[in-house]
Amino acid sequence: MSGKTVINPNQLFAMLLLFEAFGTALVVPIGFRVGQGVWLAILIAMPAGILLYLLYDYLLRQYPDLILSGYLRVIFGNYIGSLFSLIYINYFVYNAARILREGGDLLISASYDRTPSLVVHAVMIAAVIYILHKGIEVFFRLAEIYIIIILTLASIATLTILLSGVFEPRNLLPLTGEGWTSILRSAYPYIFTFPFSELICFTTILPHLNNVHSARKIGLTAIIISAAILSMTHAMDVAVLGDEIYSRTTFPLFTTISIVRIGEFLQRLDAIVMLTLIIGVFFKMSVYCYAVMALVSDIFKIAEQRKLAYPVGIVVLFLSIMSAWSFPEHNEEGQVGLEIILPSLSVVIPVLAIIIHWIRKRLNLYPAN
């Protein structure tokens, strides 16, 4: 990747944390039908997320100058590799639209119930288009700044909840919720797929790291910390709301913080949590959009990648409005993605790529440079 833009380890760590810990996995309930054992299911799913990241890291070390679409073409051949890349592009666009829909619906349900969803979504995607048009360097420098802001806001919100008296540890009992079978079925495939396997997006980013060999340590650290944050946050939601309300509410963390009161001093901390969630949604959506731009630019040999921010953003905006007519329908569509599509893209194709790479390397089937 000659003349590549470069990001440093701190920036990558910040972006991974924003993507995994403070994205939509913090906004919506995760772990279908697992009850109060959701926090445990997150921790159980984490080792598979680590293993999956190691697969991506292995491919990075084999092809340090190539993004996902590049080494897919090398391994599978130009036609099959390009076909796989087009599938990734379509799914990344769709996922970006889903994230925009969730972030927009959160804003509408919290504060902008009289504002048309198109307007809310348009404002959010405009911010994404602006930052991506500025380039990946600006995008990742922004992540370095905002991770400090979001951690500060999250700490304030957590401390407030713990001091307010609404935290009820008994709601977490029994610790295994509906039993180990339910926890394991929730961890695999649901929580493993969302959010851990979404790291497939970073196969378009990791080659920009100034030292690709540091990607492993950074990634594993970020995954472990993200899992801990998600586990504690969802445990706190269940402890405050109870299993029944947690399972039914659309945005459990927002519901949790909306009932917090500490006398006359601290009331209605919705704004703090809202800002935290929207920042996380913004960065996660931006990573997906950047992945689309990188893949399209690589496949179609587009030199000015930044200019793709506009068409990608417009397509994402359109899909966010048209993909589902209601939030329940939106969730049903997402479940299909969690069970079938995302596992195929994040696990099956990368594993197949590694196997074929090993075979071709062993039999010396790669063309000579």
Predicted confidence (pLDDT) per residue in 287-322, tens digit: 999 999 999 999 999 989 999 999 999 999 999 988
Instruction: For the chain, give the number of residues.
Output: 369
Torsion of CA 308, 313, 318, 323, to 10 degrees: 100
Task: Provide the mean pLDDT of the chain.
Answer: 88
Nearest CA to 198 among 60, 338, 316? Answer: 338
Task: For the chain, give the percent of residues with pLDDT over 70.
Answer: 89
Alpha helices by DSSP H, 4-37: 9-20, 24-27
Please give the single-letter amino acid code of residue 29: P
User: Is pLDDT at 331 greater than 70 in this prediction?
Assistant: no
Residue 148's contacts (CB-CB under 8 Å, 6 or more residues apart) are none
Answer for the pair 189, 54: CB distance below 8 angstroms, yes or no: no
Nearest 10 degrees: Cα torsion 336, 342, 348, 351: -160
CA distances, 331 to each of 30, 139, 178, 284 (Å): 11, 29, 22, 18
- pLDDT for the residue 333: 66
Domains and CATH numbers, the chain: 9-347 (1.10.4160.10)
pLDDT confidence bin for 341, thresholds 50/70/90: confident
pTM, rounded to two decimals: 0.93
| Other beta carbons within 10 Å of 5 | 13
**Vertex 332, ends 326 and 334: CA angle to 5°?**
105
List the structure tokens of 235.
């445990």
Do the beta carbons of residue 18 and residue 286 sit within 8 Å? Answer: no
Calculate the CA 153 to chain-centre distance. 20
**pLDDT of 193-245, one tens digit each?**
989 999 999 999 999 999 999 999 999 999 999 999 999 999 999 999 988 88
* pLDDT given at position 285: 97
Task: In whole angstroms, give the CA distance from residue 128 to residue 126.
Answer: 5
The residue with tokens 């949790």 is 256
23 near 99, Cβ under 8 Å?
A: yes
Strand bridging mode 266-267 / 261-262: antiparallel
Whose CA is closest to 70, among 199, 169, 204, 166?
204
Q: How confident is the model at residue 368 (pLDDT cuts 50, 70, 90)?
A: low
User: pLDDT tens digit string along 57-113?
Assistant: 999 999 999 999 999 999 999 999 999 999 999 999 999 999 999 899 888 887 788
Q: Residue 44: which pLDDT band, with cuts at 50, 70 and 90?
A: very high
pLDDT at position 258, please?
79
> Is the per-residue pLDDT at 141 higher than 60?
yes
Q: How many CB atoms lie within 10 A of CB 79?
A: 9
∠ CA(315), CA(338), CA(350), 5° rounding? 85
What would the two tokens of residue 294 be? 């990188």
Name the H helices within 165-249. 180-185, 192-193, 215-248
What does the H/E/C string look like for 45-104?
HHHHHHHHHHHHHHHHHHCCCCCHHHHHHHHHCHHHHHHHHHHHHHHHHHHHHHHHHHHH
Q: Which amino acid is at 53?
A: Y
User: How many whole angstroms from its chain centre is CA 354?
Assistant: 24
Residue 48 has pLDDT above 60, yes or no: yes
- Which are the contacts of 120, defined by CB distance < 8 A and separation ≥ 6? 104, 107, 108, 112
Q: How confident is the model at residue 153 (pLDDT cuts 50, 70, 90)?
A: confident
Return the structure tokens found at 225. 């910390």
Q: Three-state DSSP class for 208?
A: helix
pLDDT of residue 305: 94
Q: What is the per-residue pLDDT across 170-184, written as a single tens digit (0 to 9) for each? A: 988 887 767 788 888
